[in-house]
Structure 1
Amino acid sequence: MPQIRRLPESLVNRIAAGEVVERPAAALKELVENAVDAGATRIAVKLVEGGLGRIEVTDNGCGMTPDEMTLALERHATSKLPDEAIEQVATLGFRGEALPSIASVARFTLESRPQGADTGWKRVVDHGVVVEEGPAALPPGTRVRVENLFAKVPARRKFLRTPRSEYAACLDVVRRLAMARPEIAFTLEHGDRKIIGTQADEALADRVSGIVARELKDNSVAIDMERPGPGGMMRLTGIAGLPTYNRGVADHQYLFVNGRPVKDRLLVGAVRGAYSDMLARDRHAVLALFLDLAPEDVDVNVHPAKTEVRFRDARGVRGFIVSGLREALSTGDRRSAQSPDAGAMSRWQQEPMRDEPSPALHSIFTGRDWTGPRAAVSEARSAWRGMEAGVMTAAPAADSAAPMGRAEEAAPLPEDADYPLGIARGQVANTYIVAEAKDGLVLVDQHAAHERLVLERLRAAGASEAVARSQALLVPDVVEMDETDCDRLEAAIEQMAGLGLVIERFGPAAMLVRALPHALAKANPQKLLQDIADDIANHGEALLLGEKLEYVLATMACHGSVRAGRVLRVEEMNALLREMEATPRSGQCNHGRPTWVKLSMEDVEKLFGRH
């Protein structure tokens, strides 16, 4: 039998590095978190080759003495835990493994000067071996340089990705930490390019939109609410993008717990649940959420990289986020990401004048010199055939299709009425309502708008409760499943009953289905229970059934709404506009598409060269 032996310190550090420093972004995260915990107000990051060549982090924090620098490079040595109450930790990095782990797999240079000291000190460690130590000239604070990561560990180096991919991961790390700390000025340089440059003490909305996308600020709602938790008040702040401002991937969802960037399944599931009836399945919200709660209500020490957390009251946290997001989105409920699509707007172009006038207008311009400067507008040749006796005659049907628009008698806008969506002026293609507002031209998708209105009516009338009514099965259905799945479902029996699904345990590896929600009476019990069990496993709570019921409501609303292609009277159009102005979330349909867009009068004038 092989003897048990203690591993050498160098090997222990390399094993720890495998947990803490799997790629340059992981090392960068630890270094920037140290700078934040040091009380820095300015943090500068420089990368070479995506972090594969060099990572440099400079801060103006408290700095370290030479003795503290020596201690910082030892395992499990940290200043961030003043006592043994690890559940009360309020700092970002606290395990005491980051610096010695990084120094064991790279050339590591640590320079620091405490506030008030005359000079600084430098210590260089090359893959675990101290190679240089002595005085250093630098301003108060700390500078850390990591070079040639995994250069002497080829087995690890070959698993790193391309410099472009590693740079993208580093950029994401800096973005998240910069969002979490708007009071700190961050700069990020990659090679010779400055990628990020923020100012200290920025407003949260300005910091987030400046990092994510400038247009997010105008297409989002602010969140700031509180709710009691097990250990104290929970607070949720941040900005949430309107459902119509969405992305095809979920990499623009930034989640923070007590100022710590996390990627937590429960929080992601809560965001999905909050947007469930406002986004298509393949679209994702854009947001930055900051959850603050008592330190004893969250365990941040469940993962070496501290990107995952565990909540003491997971259900309460999820409910708080879902209700908070929905409440915040209802404040922007009639808004839409309304800027017309740039591609569509680019097609509103004035055609250049041909060398000869349109045949239809030739008699008007007879004798004009066409060799001079050209006018900017021309007529479509097929629209008019000629001019007889001073009256233009339309081309026959073979030359042009009949117009699909229909104008109503124009009524003046009431002076004292506040109609954000204006007064209906007509209908285009029997699908789009054209309305005139005081500040522009509004186009409304009648089917998408009415679909949202019907869904909100169903909810207001308690349709969700009606949909959830149980329909008892004539013969209870026995569903065989894995024992662990049965355990998960058994723990949620009461919750399922509230949604109309009546089940009970039937032996160690089976569930008995006695009733289904009325709206899901034709569902396959086996598939339904398996989906719910999988959802509980993934998110810790049964979300899927509720989402299925919401989907049923949305389907009912779709089938009960005004269809595209239906001719509407002007009274019906105006009634639709007025109801949209008074209905929550009317700015987007049930699939996250905008229900209306507005073209300002300034934009209209630009189209005709009047600006």
Structure 2
Amino acid sequence: MNDASHKIPGGRPAIRPLDEAAVNRIAAGEVIERPAAAVKELVENALDADARRIEVAQAEGGKTLIRVTDDGHGIPAEDLPQAVARHATSKIDGSDLLNIASYGFRGEALASIGAVARLSIASRAAGAEAAEIAVEGGRVGQVRPAALRRGTVVELRDLFHATPARLKFLRSDRAEAQAIGDVVRRLAMAEPFVSLTLTDVSGGGEKVSFRADAETGDLFDALAGRLTRVLGAEFVRNALRVEAEREGLRLTGYAGLPTYSRGAAVAQHFFVNGRPVKDRMLLGALRAAYMDVLPAGRHPAAALYIDCPAELVDVNVHPAKSEVRFRDPGTARGLVVSALRHALAEAGHRAATTVAGAALGAARPGAPGAPAAPRYQMDRPSAAARAASYQAQAPAPGGAEPGFAETAGAWSARVEPVEEAPHGAEETPAEALPLGAARAQLHETYILAQTEDGLVIVDAHAAHERLVYERLKAQLAENGVAAQALLIPEVVEMPEPARGRLLDAAEDLARLGLVIEPFGGEALAVRETPALLGEVGARGLLADVADALEETGTAVGLEARLMAVLSRMACHGSVRAGRRMRAEEMNALLREMEATPLSGQCNHGRPTYVELKLADVERLFGRR
């Protein structure tokens, strides 16, 4: 066998320390891996200096020029040499690494940039003269006088000129410029009361790529204004306000409606104590909160802010400071899941305005036909599951609640006028209610309802599917998950880390109908499984649940499978397309939709209704 190329050649060489320049260039690879990382560090320094206005300029994707100008408190001339030294900072004293309130604290950014680029810093502190210092390839120059009214200007040119091999790993100018824009936008979302501007000065010209002026008002008004600028007005119009607090952690922000979903997880933003972070646990909590309201392949949009005492979260996890670790991750995850589910439930039957916009676009004269919505193929449930679903949708005794059981008669699609209430009785007209009064059934599938200022088109099957699903979930929550005991317990061998996670969560799993116990060595004995799942392979079920525990720390995987079964039962037990409905049935369906949380979308995340304003319809016919 040939010697591996990574082995040390020439026997046993002497161990010797690397020179400072090499150390700095190696360390720079951890902090400054691309131009966007340099922009992030410099803008964060400006924010830590209490700047209210920050201007960023870049050329050729930041490869040839990055300049950050701020109006912060500046750096005194005598401190400039220390500012570009490694592990030198004014933000912490090193005595307490768990009480960090600033963006930066490691004292690495400027030294790392100076090791791989041509760096110059000009700054003026209050009551002092302006001064500047230059660093090239790790060599620090002398402090010189400068001309500057206030704040700091940091300019770096020819990034990675000292390590040309790294230039080969950079992407195109357009891609690097896009990455810089993403960084600036995330920081703009974190600081709505600060003005940020990004300018492209490639080729000698100046083009403003992004501009966000400082917002005013209270926190939520400022956030709404800044998110409108960064994520777009559609997001804010179709987002729910989120506010909750638990055990010292406070969650605020906006979360999109389920019907305002995205095809990729590109609009999910978390901020911890103002710091943009990418945390697997928080992203998993976001997915769990939307678990049964989004179809496969769709992702929620959200901008969520967690604030807590600094000692409850560790930000010193990664050199890029983009990861955090909570002292109690379960509390943070539970706060996100419960707050989002509460906000979604409070939204009731509300659906995204983009649904109506798409419908109007498809209805415009001469517009090409929109592609049909994807059809969701569902497994045929068992006879017991069908019986349970039909029972859930059957009318209550005495007519206490509206029901939608199948009727044998063939009913006209036209709705006859509803009898007026007796004289003197006060009753809200159906047209004044959010979903209006049923006026017709179209193609034995869609309910056409009239409101005071428009019309509503309801997919009866999709709407009733959600109503039945919510009823089944309520029954499950009230009566618990029924478990079926296995005649012979199934013994499953599991790797020790997975086995340990399952045993730690055994109490939670038992509440979900999965009863396990240790069986010696690396084995687990499965004694009971959730009855709703029917016949299930214990090995595969335990593997799925163990994976979910590793990712999120909870038994969300088993819960998701139970919810999927309920969804399947609701789908097959709901009003089927092609059945004609009576007027009272259609109006009862509309009223129950108004009273049921999440009824704006079916179990698969598709919208259950489209609302069109009369003014929009009149525009289609040229009446406005």
Which range, TM-score by smaller chain? Answer: 0.7 to 0.9
* Shift in Å, 1:131: 5.0
In 2, are the aligned partners of 1:467 and 1:518 still within 8 Å (CA)? no
Pairing of 1:413-452 with structure 2 (within 5 A):
418-452=432-466
**Corresponding residue for 1:389?**
none
TM-score by structure 2 length? Answer: 0.85
**Corresponding residue for 2:618?**
605
**1:297-338 deviation per Cα after TM superposition (whole angstroms, max 9, x unaligned):** 111101111111111111111111100111112222221013
Pairing of 1:385-534 with structure 2 (within 5 A):
406-410=413-417, 418-460=432-474, 462-464=475-477, 466=479, 468-534=481-547
* Shift in Å, 1:162: 1.6
Partner residue of 1:348 out of 363, 372, 376: 363
**Corresponding residue for 1:261?**
276
Partner residue of 2:188 out of 165, 168, 178: 178
**Corresponding residue for 1:108?**
119
Measured at CA, do residues 351 and 277 of structure 1 come closer, stay the same or move farther in structure 2, by a change above 3 Å?
A: closer
| Aligned-partner Cα distance in 1 for 2:521–2:611 | 59
Alignment-mate amino acid for residue 9 of structure 1? E
**1:546-575 deviation per Cα after TM superposition (whole angstroms, max 9, x unaligned):** 111122222221122112222111111100
The size of the alignment, in residue pairs, is 554
**Corresponding residue for 1:130?**
140
| Aligned-partner Cα distance in 2 for 1:412–1:4 | 96
| Aligned-partner Cα distance in 2 for 1:600–1:58 | 48
Measured at CA, do residues 131 and 79 of structure 1 come closer, stay the same or move farther in structure 2, by a change above 3 Å?
A: closer
**Corresponding residue for 1:579?**
592
In 2, are the aligned partners of 1:339 and 1:598 still within 8 Å (CA)? no
User: What SS class does the counterpart of residue 289 from structure 1 fall into?
Assistant: strand
Partner residue of 2:50 out of 39, 54, 61: 39
**Corresponding residue for 2:154?**
144
**Corresponding residue for 2:241?**
222
Partner residue of 2:346 out of 317, 320, 331: 331
* Shift in Å, 1:467: 6.3
In 1, are the aligned partners of 2:277 and 2:322 still within 8 Å (CA)? yes
* Structure showing the higher strand proportion among its residues: 1
| Aligned-partner Cα distance in 2 for 1:205–1:577 | 32
**Corresponding residue for 2:35?**
24
| Aligned-partner Cα distance in 1 for 2:20–2:59 | 30
In 2, are the aligned partners of 1:467 and 1:549 still within 8 Å (CA)? no
* Shift in Å, 1:258: 0.8
User: What SS class does the counterpart of residue 433 from structure 1 fall into?
Assistant: strand
**Corresponding residue for 2:330?**
315
* Shift in Å, 1:138: 2.0
**Corresponding residue for 1:538?**
551
Alignment-mate amino acid for residue 240 of structure 2? V
* Shift in Å, 1:5: 2.4
**Corresponding residue for 2:18?**
7
Matched, 1:201 2:201: no
Gap runs ≥5 in structure 2: 1-11, 217-221, 368-411, 421-426
**1:493-544 deviation per Cα after TM superposition (whole angstroms, max 9, x unaligned):** 1221121111122233222111101112312111111111122222233321
In 1, are the aligned partners of 2:130 and 2:146 still within 8 Å (CA)? yes
Measured at CA, do residues 558 and 10 of structure 1 come closer, stay the same or move farther in structure 2, by a change above 3 Å?
A: same
Gap runs ≥5 in structure 1: 353-404
In 1, are the aligned partners of 2:81 and 2:143 still within 8 Å (CA)? no
Alignment-mate amino acid for residue 274 of structure 1? A
| Aligned-partner Cα distance in 1 for 2:451–2:21 | 72
* Shift in Å, 1:416: 5.0
Partner residue of 1:567 out of 580, 594, 604: 580
Measured at CA, do residues 465 and 281 of structure 1 come closer, stay the same or move farther in structure 2, by a change above 3 Å?
A: farther
| Aligned-partner Cα distance in 1 for 2:614–2:469 | 32
* Shift in Å, 1:470: 1.4
| Aligned-partner Cα distance in 2 for 1:21–1:508 | 47
User: What SS class does the counterpart of residue 599 from structure 2 fall into?
Assistant: coil
Matched, 1:213 2:224: no
* Shift in Å, 1:6: 2.3
Alignment-mate amino acid for residue 449 of structure 2? A
Matched, 1:589 2:602: yes
Matched, 1:164 2:183: no
Alignment-mate amino acid for residue 126 of structure 1? E
Measured at CA, do residues 465 and 578 of structure 1 come closer, stay the same or move farther in structure 2, by a change above 3 Å?
A: closer
Alignment-mate amino acid for residue 564 of structure 1? A
CA RMSD of aligned residues (A): 2.0
Measured at CA, do residues 51 and 540 of structure 1 come closer, stay the same or move farther in structure 2, by a change above 3 Å?
A: farther
Partner residue of 1:548 out of 549, 561, 581: 561
| Aligned-partner Cα distance in 1 for 2:45–2:265 | 28
In 2, are the aligned partners of 1:467 and 1:519 still within 8 Å (CA)? no
In 1, are the aligned partners of 2:356 and 2:612 still within 8 Å (CA)? no
User: What SS class does the counterpart of residue 363 from structure 2 fall into?
Assistant: coil
In 1, are the aligned partners of 2:413 and 2:581 still within 8 Å (CA)? no
| Aligned-partner Cα distance in 2 for 1:166–1:2 | 41
Matched, 1:69 2:84: no
TM-score by structure 1 length? Answer: 0.87
| Aligned-partner Cα distance in 1 for 2:365–2:242 | 43
**Corresponding residue for 2:198?**
188
**1:156-189 deviation per Cα after TM superposition (whole angstroms, max 9, x unaligned):** 1111112222222212211111111111111112
Partner residue of 2:249 out of 230, 234, 237: 234
In 2, are the aligned partners of 1:116 and 1:140 still within 8 Å (CA)? no
Alignment-mate amino acid for residue 426 of structure 1? A
In 2, are the aligned partners of 1:300 and 1:310 still within 8 Å (CA)? yes
| Aligned-partner Cα distance in 1 for 2:17–2:595 | 72
| Aligned-partner Cα distance in 2 for 1:584–1:21 | 47
Alignment-mate amino acid for residue 101 of structure 1? S
